[in-house]
C-alpha cells in the first residue's frame, strides 16, 4: 500500500495547473502560485478495556483490513474531538460500552505506516456486546491472549506493554 496515494496521482498543481515540486510522500509545493500542502500520519485512538478480574476485552474485526483477526477497539481521530474522546467513542461504536480511561499505555508508529496509534488503558464495568463492527467480543485472561491471531503489530506491542507494567492480579497496591 502506498504511503500517500493522493499525492501519487498528482502531477499538476491543484490551484494553477503548472508543474509543482513534489517531495513524496511528505509534501507538494508550487513555485508558480505558492500553493503548498503537507501530509502527516493520521492519529488512531485505541483502548484496552479491562474488567474487574483483570481480563482484557478484545474484538474480532468485522471490517477490512484484517477481517476476522483480534484487535483492540479503536479508530481514526476526527477533527473536532480529542484523542481521548475518540477512544471513548470508538469503544462505544465497536463494543457498545462506556469506558473510563485510566492511563496512557503507549504511542506506536513506524516509518512505513500511515498511522500513529495511541493506546489507553481503560476500565469497564459492564459487558461489551457484538456490533456491526465486531464479529465477536471476548474478555481474555492474560494467559489466553490470541497472540498469533492479532490484527496489527500495534495490538501485540500495546498488549505486551500493558501486561508487563501492571501489577499481577491480586497483588497488594503499591505503598503511597
Ligand atoms: Zn500552482
pLDDT tens for each residue of 48-67: 999 999 999 999 999 999 99
Cα–ligand 1 centroid distance for 8 (angstroms): 17
27 is written with which cell numbers? Answer: 509534501
* pTM of this structure: 0.88
Predicted confidence at residue 2, as pLDDT, reads: 86
What residues contact residue 166 under an 8 Å CB cut-off, 6+ apart?
A: 54, 121
> How many angstroms does the Cα of residue 12 sit away from the middle of ligand 1?
8
Delimit the CATH 3.90.79.10 region(s) of the chain. 42-165
Residue 109 has pLDDT above 70, yes or no: yes
CATH of the structural domain 42-165, one choice from 3.40.50.300, 3.90.79.10, 3.30.360.10, 1.10.150.570 = 3.90.79.10
Q: How far does the centroid of ligand 1 lie from the alpha carbon of residue 26, in Å?
A: 17
Tell me, in angstroms, the distance from the centre of ligand 1 to residue 34's CA.
Answer: 6
**Confidence bin at 173 (pLDDT 50/70/90):** low
> 130 to each of 69, 107, 127, how far by Cα in Å?
14, 27, 10
Question: 37 C-alpha vs ligand 1 centroid, how far in Å?
Answer: 11
Query: Given pLDDT bands bounded at 50, 70 and 90, which one contains residue 175?
Result: low
pLDDT score, position 124: 93
Q: How many whole angstroms from 76 Cα to the centroid of ligand 1?
A: 31
pLDDT band of 166, cuts 50, 70, 90: confident
Cα angle at 172 between 122 and 87, to 5 degrees? Answer: 5
DSSP for 44-113?
EEEEEEE-TTS-EEEEEE-SSSSTTSEE-SEEEPPTTS-HHHHHHHHHHHHH----EEEEEEEEE--TT-
Residues 46, 105 contacting (CB under 8 angstroms): no
* Ligand 1 centroid, distance to 143 Cα (angstroms): 57
Distance 33 CA to ligand 1 centre (A): 4
Whether residue 18 has pLDDT greater than 90: yes
CA–centroid distance, 38 to ligand 1, in Å, is: 15
CA dihedral sign, ordered 143, 147, 150, 154 = positive
Amino acid at each position: 500500500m502506498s504511503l500517500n496515494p493522493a499525492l501519487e496521482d498528482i502531477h499538476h498543481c491543484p490551484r494553477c495547473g503548472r508543474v509543482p515540486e513534489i517531495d513524496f510522500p511528505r509534501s507538494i509545493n508550487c513555485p508558480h502560485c505558492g500553493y503548498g500542502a503537507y501530509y502527516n500520519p493520521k492519529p488512531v485512538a485505541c483502548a484496552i478495556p479491562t474488567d474487574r478480574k483483570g481480563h482484557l476485552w478484545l474484538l474480532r474485526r468485522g471490517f477490512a483490513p484484517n477481517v476476522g483477526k483480534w484487535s483492540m477497539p479503536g479508530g481514526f481521530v476526527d477533527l473536532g474531538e480529542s484523542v481521548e474522546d475518540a477512544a471513548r467513542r470508538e469503544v462505544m461504536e465497536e463494543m457498545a460500552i462506556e469506558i473510563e480511561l485510566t492511563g496512557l499505555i503507549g504511542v506506536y508508529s513506524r516509518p512505513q505506516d500511515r498511522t500513529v496509534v495511541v493506546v489507553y488503558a481503560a476500565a469497564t464495568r459492564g459487558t461489551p456486546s457484538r456490533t456491526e463492527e465486531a464479529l465477536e467480543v471476548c474478555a481474555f485472561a492474560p494467559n489466553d491472549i490470541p497472540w498469533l491471531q492479532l490484527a496489527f503489530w500495534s495490538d501485540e506491542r500495546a498488549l505486551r506493554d500493558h501486561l508487563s507494567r501492571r501489577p499481577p492480579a491480586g497483588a497488594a497496591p503499591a505503598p503511597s
